[in-house]
A = this chain, B = another copy of it.
Amino acid sequence: MSDWRSIPCIEKHKEFLENLIAILIDCTFESVSRENPVLRWREPGHLQDIINFNLQEGPRAQDSLLEIATKVFKYSVKTGHPYFMNQLFSGLDPYGLAGQWLTDVLNCSLYTYEVAPVLTLMESTVITKLLNMFYKEENGASIGDGLFCPGGSFANGTAINLARFWFRKRVQNNKTIPSTNLVLFTSEDAHYSVSKWGNVCDVEIILVKTDEYGRMDINDLKVNILEEQKKGNYPFCITATAGTTVLGAFDLLIEIADICQEFDMWLHVDAAWGGGLIFSKKHSVLLRGIQRADSILFNPHKLLAVPQQCSLLLTKHKNIFEEAHSKQAPYLFQKDKFYSRDLDVGDKYLQCGRRPDVLKFWFMWQAKGTSGFEKHVDHLMRFSTLFKEEVEKRDGFKLVTEPCFINVCFWFVPPSLRVQNTLYDYKKRLNEVAPKLKEKMTKRGSLMINYQPLHEKPNFFRFVIQNSGVDMQDILYIFDELENLGESM
């Protein structure tokens, strides 16, 4: 039977962990093999028959736990598989995985130097390096600060709170203006977390129109700002997006920064998805203007394929985290510590206990070097272009819009609709294609690729890659598989 004590004993547990890890290493390679399905779809009822999820009164034998672990793996989606293109993350990086496993053995929480000396210095190194990379043109190495966040949504929320803090600090008479009179502008194609967290912060959110490429309409932005001012409200923040979720659009950062300057507003750039381009000499041009942002969200777990999850909020305002967040809890940040309190980063955070997300990223960076991430990003960009070209080449595939980044959005038009594209219900019928194909590929376990509608556009597929193990054969496979699944439609 398993032990109830929360400490590993050599006799009881070493063999168990060794057996488990042997299984896990096999799983790791199995999960990325093209020979295996990307998922084994089961309805919830069926899955509950296969895995008994119930929590029992008594303990289980270690053998039975190994069996459970195997089943959990077997029926989980293989997000590292080359045919998994369903989200803005994929790939199972071996060094990233190693960093995660090491993080787990350390089982640490990150707030004081005394508890996390190595991880504290690691965070500081990574944050400084990224500040240099994102802000180099304007600020050099010495200013700014950063936070690791549990996901991009949280980081967007933190940025909204900072923007409000900054606004109120300058408008003096702190808090005399209710949050509901403060207005934040973002585009209708921005990530939905901006609206979610606008609600948490209780500020008003205006969704600005986008142009045909999915970029914020600068004119509409200006009109909206002036309108809100006329109403007596206070525009305080613009959230621009560098790499929108669906189309992969990049808002015009320079134009938006100019507006922020004109109206004295905080510029937050949600570069959760596009931020990884900073590693590419060739492609970082898409981020031009980002150094003017007051804050930048960047998710290494997206484009750089760092394991889940790794998300950073960077700012050019060096002390704003302390000013906006600090509460100086005396049980954690004692004033009479024997070492410098500057080493204790915890009070800058809105979290207290915090799983360290830095180690896997830092470890991957050690393994590959900056140049390795650059090769990775350039590879992804190249294969997106190849994918786009293939869309243009093939009958029955049609681009939704001209892509500039990884996202290639396209319709698959099944044979029956190709000849009938003047039908009165063409749009309605096209709209039904993607969900139907998605069901087929899911049940077959052959491919995972996302679809969605956008504004007036009927459902279309969105190709994305973050896995630089994907090659040209895989690209062609996707087309063949979609044709195959849709040939009778």
Contact = CB atoms under 8 A, between A and B. Distances in A.
Query: 8 shortest A-B CB distances, which residue pairs?
Result: A7-B469, A150-B150, A4-B372, A178-B178, A6-B305, A6-B91, A338-B439, A2-B367
A468 B86 contact: no
A366 B65 contact: yes
Contacts of A363: 65, 68-69
Contacts of A44: 113, 117, 121, 343
A368 interface: yes
Contacts of A54: 125
Contacts of A351: 150-151, 153-154
Interface centre among A32, A107, A118 (most CB of B within 10 A): A107
Interface stretch (A226-234, A256-264, A312-320, A326-334): A326-334
A109 B84 CA distance: 13
Contact of A47 (B101, B117, B454): B117
Interface string A58-100: 1110100100110011011101101000111101111111101
Interface stretch (A196-204, A210-218, A384-392, A415-423): A196-204
A97 B87 contact: no
Contact of A179 (B178, B366, B453, B468): B178
A7 B79 CA distance: 11
A74 to B, nearest CB: 9
A154 B350 contact: yes
Contacts of A450: 331
A292 interface: no
B325 A196 contact: yes
A254 interface: no
A187 interface: no
A193 interface: yes
Contact of A442 (B51, B154, B338): B338
Given A77-B108, A106-B73, A197-B350, A6 B60 contact: no
A151 B55 contact: no
Given A25-B21, A58-B371, A459-B336, A468 B4 contact: yes
A400 interface: no
A345 interface: no
A250 interface: no
Contacts of A331: 245-246, 450, 452, 454, 462
Nearest to A160: B200
A295 interface: no
A337 to B, nearest CB: 7
Contacts of A14: 25, 29
A151 B349 CA distance: 12
A324 B196 CA distance: 9
A186 interface: no
A440 B197 CA distance: 45
